[in-house]
């Protein structure tokens, strides 16, 4: 397929009969030579030919003000042509039913735009969409904005949010030669906590959480060490201040590293709060209230989430969240953790591991959305480690009894199953009941970006594009996508490559592995058992499972029937592994490798054919024999 030069054929030249280049009119095929279109055309395209066609299509789009991919008999295409004609706008129209290889063109277009239908409209390099979206853009004023000749934007891309996804996208776009601005501003928590560049993961999430989890594991290792011959007489105690200072120093170095990386890649960074004021224009407000406006051709929303509060008396005045915990200047003491999310259980786990008295108040189930058998096993182990669980209760009032660092708080809670109320006194109350997307105070409604009014999440298509063509979103603000740092990083990088590098790869949100860093780690990939039954039906599944005893636990005489492995197989698909679950030490290191195997189509037979590494915990997955359906005993003997 050939494309004419960007500004049309030279004087006296005949427009191409294949991929035509015309202004305002269609290019008919010569008499008797109507294009023969069939699905086979696409399948016959070699990868090299497909890449060349993609390159030429991008050249056509980038070289013209308005490009309409149409079909001559399509009434929706006709409406769009009439709209642009009424606006006095010259268009380049390609009638796919009247050119050779029209099917191939439409197939490659669908890869570029995630739209399989015509008309398919581009205005000043921005994909507007089909007929409905073009008329919506016209009614909202967006189309007129896009039609401005050679709009002089300040930036090619503005990224709102300096977390994992936003920084990944910004840096990749800059590497591809684009002018990029990152706006990032942390609104202090009700307790006054704020932090530097890098987002939740680096500052108040994954990084400090894993380091405090490690601190707790070291305490357990000290206990185990006596069984391995280590002798020490002095009392061993934990110093909260020493730990938090070291962790915050590490986080500070990461903040600086991010700023340095942006500078090296010539990405502009401004510590200001971004808010849309009109199409393609955003207002940036710094900490002193000074306002500056910037414009861009494209925007990426990557503002993430913040912890949710209960909405009861005393919650914002006296309670803390994960925003505050990791830099808390004093040991939290006796702690009530409200919630049963992974954040709640991880925090409760490492606080208990550091020797604190910890209670977890649970409204309904542990780890909602995760495999519930695994969740209950997580909770059971935490109880063995001294964490107390209050089930089916929710706080209704938090009162301050004494000021201090920490002080004393009284919590009144009500049963979710009846009129019963209970009271308790704690030094610290940590709320971990969920997170809300930071999308409702950034002017998205002014430019027509749709959000879920209840959750604040942003619906996008499978190329992370919102309903407003030049606005994209990545990370935790996305509706229906996993809220995980590596997902945001991958999505941001691939988005930049599609927007500015001519690439086609999309982020794969299927079979994403994750780990809950509770005292005994829980790693999983794929379906929970409940979800697998819902999707595939119980009779079509085979679940293999076993308890196992890590070698490191044997000499230490730790429980031999706590660690657990489970895989869920689809009997109708060659026993394909569709769910992979492990509860045990270093679960994250185990699940990462098996997640790659699942991407490659892992089956039970392939696991059986794999030679295990001995002695390791992971090798248990190469020797699974007992099915749940058999009812056979899986307990281990010893110690």
Q: Is the pLDDT of residue 38 over 50?
A: no
Least Cα distance to 160 among 182, 179, 143 occurs for 182
Mean pLDDT of 92-111: 91
Least Cα distance to 608 among 165, 599, 597 occurs for: 597
Mean pLDDT calculated for residue range 437-449: 96
pLDDT for 144? 83
Quick check: 406 pLDDT over 70?
A: yes
Q: Which residue has the higher pLDDT, 20 or 286?
A: 286
- Averaged pLDDT score across all residues of the chain: 91
Active-site positions read 614
Q: What is the pLDDT of residues 50-78, one digit of tens each?
A: 888 888 898 888 878 899 999 999 999 99
CB of 200 closer than 8 Å to CB of 336: no
**Run of H or E including 293:** strand 291-301
pLDDT at 639 over 70: no
**Which of 89-93, 354-358, 545-549 has the least mean pLDDT?**
89-93
Share above pLDDT 90 across residues of the chain, in percent, rounded to a whole number: 82
| Per-residue tokens: 378 | 């997580």
**Mind listing the pLDDT tens digit for each residue in 532-572?**
999 999 999 999 999 999 999 999 999 999 999 999 999 99
pTM: 0.83
> What is the average per-residue pLDDT within 368-395?
98
The stretch 389-396 carries a mean pLDDT of 98
pLDDT at 149: 59
pLDDT of residue 33 exceeding 70, the answer is no
Strand, helix or coil for residue 539: helix
Query: What is the per-residue pLDDT for 44?
Result: 64
pLDDT at 438 over 70: yes
Mean pLDDT value of segment 361-377: 97
Name the phi and psi angles at 462, rounded to 5. Answer: -80, 10
**Tokens 């996305």 belong to which residue?**
478
pLDDT at 145: 82
Mean pLDDT of 164-185: 97
pLDDT at 32 over 50: no
**Cβ neighbours for 366, distance < 8 A, ≥ 6 positions apart:** 340, 345, 372, 375, 376, 378, 379
Residue 391 Cα distances to 178, 361, 411, 415, angstroms: 53, 6, 15, 9
Q: In this model, does residue 135 exceed pLDDT 70?
A: yes
Phi-psi region of 24 (alpha: psi -120 to 50; beta: other; left: phi over 0): left
Q: Is the pLDDT of residue 461 over 70?
A: yes
- Which range is least confidently modeled, 25-34, 39-48, 159-168? 25-34
pLDDT value of residue 90: 84
Task: Look at 397 and 149; give whichever has higher pLDDT.
Answer: 397
């Amino acid at each position: 397929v050939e494309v004419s030069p960007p500004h049309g054929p030279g004087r006296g030249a005949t427009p191409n009969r294949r991929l035509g280049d015309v202004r305002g009119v269609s290019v008919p095929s010569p008499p008797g030579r109507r294009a023969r279109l069939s699905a086979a055309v696409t399948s016959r395209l070699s990868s090299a030919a497909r890449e060349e066609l993609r390159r030429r299509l991008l050249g056509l789009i980038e070289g013209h003000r308005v490009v309409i991919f149409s079909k001559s008999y399509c009434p929706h295409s006709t409406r769009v042509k009439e709209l642009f004609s009424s606006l006095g706008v010259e268009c380049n129209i390609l009638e796919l039913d009247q050119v050779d290889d029209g099917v191939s063109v439409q197939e490659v277009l669908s890869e570029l735009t995630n739209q399989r239908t015509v008309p398919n409209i581009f205005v000043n390099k921005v994909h507007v969409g089909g007929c409905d979206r073009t008329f919506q853009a016209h009614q909202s004023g967006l189309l007129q904005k896009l039609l401005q000749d050679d709009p002089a934007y300040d930036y090619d891309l503005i990224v709102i949010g300096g977390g994992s996804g936003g920084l990944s996208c910004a840096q990749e776009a800059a590497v591809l030669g684009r002018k990029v601005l990152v706006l990032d501003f942390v609104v202090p928590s009700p307790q006054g906590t704020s932090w530097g560049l890098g987002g939740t993961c680096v500052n108040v999430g994954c990084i400090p959480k894993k380091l405090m989890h490690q601190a707790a594991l070291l305490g357990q290792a000290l206990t185990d060490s006596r069984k391995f011959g280590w002798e020490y007489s002095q009392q061993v105690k934990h110093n909260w201040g020493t730990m938090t200072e070291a962790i915050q120093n590490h986080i500070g170095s990461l903040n600086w590293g991010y700023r340095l990386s942006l500078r090296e890649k010539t990405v502009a960074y401004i510590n200001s709060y971004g808010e849309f004021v009109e199409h393609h224009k955003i207002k940036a407000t710094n900490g002193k209230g000074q306002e500056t406006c910037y414009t861009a051709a494209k925007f990426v929303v990557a503002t993430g989430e913040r912890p949710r509060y209960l909405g009861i008396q005393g919650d914002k005045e006296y309670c803390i969240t994960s925003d505050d915990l990791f830099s808390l200047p004093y040991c939290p003491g006796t702690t009530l953790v409200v919630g049963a999310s992974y954040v709640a259980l991880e925090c409760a786990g490492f606080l208990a591991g550091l020797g604190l008295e910890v209670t977890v108040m649970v409204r309904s189930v542990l780890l909602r959305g995760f495999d519930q058998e695994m969740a209950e096993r997580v909770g059971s182990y935490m109880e063995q480690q001294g964490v107390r669980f209050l089930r089916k209760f929710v706080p209704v009032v938090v009162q301050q009894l004494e000021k201090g660092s920490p002080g004393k708080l009284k919590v009144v809670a009500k049963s979710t199953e009846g009129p019963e109320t209970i009271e308790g006194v704690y030094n610290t109350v940590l709320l971990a009941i969920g997170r809300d997307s930071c999308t409702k105070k950034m002017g998205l409604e002014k430019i027509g970006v749709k959000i879920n009014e209840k959750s604040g999440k942003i619906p996008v298509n499978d190329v992370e594009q919102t309903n407003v063509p030049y606005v994209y979103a990545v990370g935790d603000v996305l509706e229906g996508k996993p809220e995980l740092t590596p997902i945001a990083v991958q999505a941001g990088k691939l988005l930049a490559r599609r927007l500015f590098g001519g690439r086609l790869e999309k982020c794969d949100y299927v079979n994403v592995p994750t780990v809950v860093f509770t005292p005994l780690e829980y790693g999983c990939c794929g379906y929970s058992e409940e979800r697998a039954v819902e999707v595939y039906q119980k009779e079509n599944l085979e679940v293999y499972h076993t308890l196992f005893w890590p070698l490191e636990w044997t000499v230490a005489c730790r429980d031999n029937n706590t660690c657990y492995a489970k895989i869920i197989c689809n009997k109708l698909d060659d026993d394909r592994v569709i769910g992979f679950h492990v509860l045990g030490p270093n679960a994250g290191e185990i699940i990462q490798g098996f997640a790659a195997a699942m991407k490659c189509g892992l089956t039970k037979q392939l696991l059986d054919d794999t030679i295990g590494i001995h002695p390791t915990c992971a090798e248990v997955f190469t020797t699974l024999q007992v099915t749940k359906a058999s009812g056979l005993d899986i307990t281990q003997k010893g110690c």
